[in-house]
Amino acid sequence: MKKIIIPLILFFFVASYAQDLSGKWSGIIESGKSEPVVFNFTIEKSGENYSTTIDIPALRAANLKPKKTVFSNEKLVVDGSNLGFKYQGTFKKDLQQIDGIFTEGLNALPLVLKKVQIETHNAFKRPQEPAKPYPYKEEEITFRNNDANITLSGTLTLPDRTGKYPIAILISGSGPQDRDETFYEHKPFLVLSDYLTRQGIGVFRYDDRGVGKSTGDHSAATSKDLATDVLSAIKYLKSRKDSKQIGLIGHSEGAIIAPMVANLNKNVSFIVMLGGTGISGSEVSLYLSKKIRGFPVQDEAAYESAIKKAIQIAATDKELVDIKKDLKIHYHEAIVPMLKPIINSAAKIEEIIANLIEIRTSPWNRYFYNYNPANELEKVTCPVLALNGSKDMQVQPKINQEGITKALNKGRNKDFSIFEIPNLNHLFQECESGEMNEYSSITQTIAPFVLKQISDWILVHSK
């Protein structure tokens, strides 16, 4: 009897082990456009439910928390729609690996995960990042957004002297960002806050909702929702004794949230827009869809027309289920024929289309399509500084600065300055091409003269 029981015990142990994906998994994505990127997945199981955290060392991204993880019948799905991606894979018991596809927008790349930790040797040369001890005061702060029922966590840096100071709240770009706005191995908000505080300007930066130490769900938030987080930060700072004036510095999406906030709270004394837009979200989205498409098409005009219609469908006020149905019909008519010559798999094409529909119909995108920051800028009365890089490939400087200028003039704003700065990209690095794949190879985080320009302007406007 013992001879039968022991094999049975071993059988159930091995079967149970094979079905449990708990542990650390690593894999590499090679896109051919840049250096291979290592992904580290930590999968945990609690009862029958799984959860995942992801680290991407090359991007200095740690503890990313996808929305949902499901493992059933050897199929793993990591729903990172809150972070802008999806991972689907099949567990190969004999190889003890997960063969999967990492999908981000139209890009679907192979990602095989194994229970072997891949060594990374990233030597980050970021000479502008400050080292402790700092010559100023630093506080860890938590504050509440009661309307959203969330708690946000951030860092307040203040000059090491008594008295009151102008304090700038930093508002991050699109997507879930930490308080340093860590992006492509750089920490722009850390560098900016350090520089400004050394010049006598207080800075408050915080983790976006659902990121780092902040609670909430970023994937469910629109720009309007995120504006309420900034309003809550202003309320917190007004409760303190050390704020002389409160201003806003927004980068990318943050730059179009800033005027919205200024019109809702008259305590805002100034706005700095970094890489901001002055045209509708629909126009911006159309440009980006063409710019970062990632695959060739034979007819550019047909592709542009197809994307324009997809945005129009997603931007309507119809019921969400009807919008998704209309988008699916449209994509099958207009986009699938473009994908078939380059993707020889109907199943993969369906995955891409499904992912595209989810992205197009996210709360953030549907709000963004219908939002034009020019409408808010017309109503802004406080001083405004708008900076754009001439080689910004994410936000076209000319057309957007024209929109910003026109709006501020129409609203008769008496104090604004707008500059297109030569040879700078979207991160305000001195660059060659301005393309996104160049960001991480540049050691500079923010051009020093831009830091000085921001600081000098704030000090002049806070006397």
pLDDT at 48: 82
Half-sphere exposure of 167 (CA within 13 A, CB side): 24
Averaged pLDDT for residues 58-79: 84
End-to-end alpha carbon distance in the chain: 90
Domain ranges of the chain: 19-114, 136-279+372-460, 281-368
Residue 444 has pLDDT above 50, yes or no: yes
* Cβ burial, residue 242 (10 Å; 0-12/13-18/19+): middle
Looking at residue 189, its pLDDT comes to: 98
Cβ(287)–Cβ(396) below 8 Å: yes
Report residue 9's pLDDT band, with 50, 70 and 90 as the boundaries.
Answer: very low
Specify whether the CB–CB gap between 78 and 93 falls below 8 A: no
pLDDT confidence band for 152 (50 / 70 / 90): very high
Question: 136-279+372-460: same fold as 19-114?
Answer: no
Which pTM value belongs to this model? 0.84
pLDDT digits (tens, 9 = 90+) for 291-330: 777 677 788 899 999 999 999 999 999 999 999 999 999 9
Least confident of 3-7, 263-267, 353-357: 3-7
pLDDT surpassing 90 at residue 379: yes
Please state, in angstroms and rounded to a whole number, the distance separating the CA atoms of residues 201 and 137. Answer: 12
Confidence of residue 339 (pLDDT cuts 50, 70, 90): confident
Q: What percent of the chain has pLDDT over 90?
A: 62
Going across the sheet that includes 416-421, the strands are 136-145, 150-159, 202-206, 165-171, 243-251, 268-274, 384-389, 416-421
Distance CA 99, CA 89 (A): 5
How many Cα atoms within 13 Å fall on the side-chain side of residue 123? 0
CB 111 within 8 A of CB 27: yes
pLDDT band at 33 (very low <50, low <70, confident <90, very high): low
Lowest mean pLDDT, pick from 81-95, 103-117, 175-189:
103-117
The yes-or-no verdict on residue 16 having pLDDT over 50 is: no
Neighbours of 95 (CB within 10 A): 10
Within 13 Å of residue 215, how many CA atoms lie on the same side as its CB?
9
The Cα–Cα gap between 395 and 401 comes to 10
Q: Please say whether the structural domain 19-114 has been given the CATH code 2.40.160.20.
A: no
Structure-model confidence comparison of residues 121 and 325, the more confident one: 325
**Residue 234 region, left (φ>0) first, then alpha (ψ -120 to 50), else beta?**
alpha
136-279+372-460: CATH, from 1.10.486.10, 3.40.50.800, 3.40.50.1820, 1.10.10.60? 3.40.50.1820
Least Cα distance to 410 among 378, 440, 451 occurs for 378
Tell me the pLDDT of the chain averaged across its residues: 89
Confidence of residue 393 (pLDDT cuts 50, 70, 90): very high
Query: What's the confidence (pLDDT) of residue 73?
Result: 87
Phi, psi dihedral angles at 172 (to 5 degrees):
-80, 170
Per-residue CA distances from 432 to 213, 293, 422, 426 (Å): 36, 21, 11, 12
Task: Give the DSSP letter of residue 47.
Answer: T
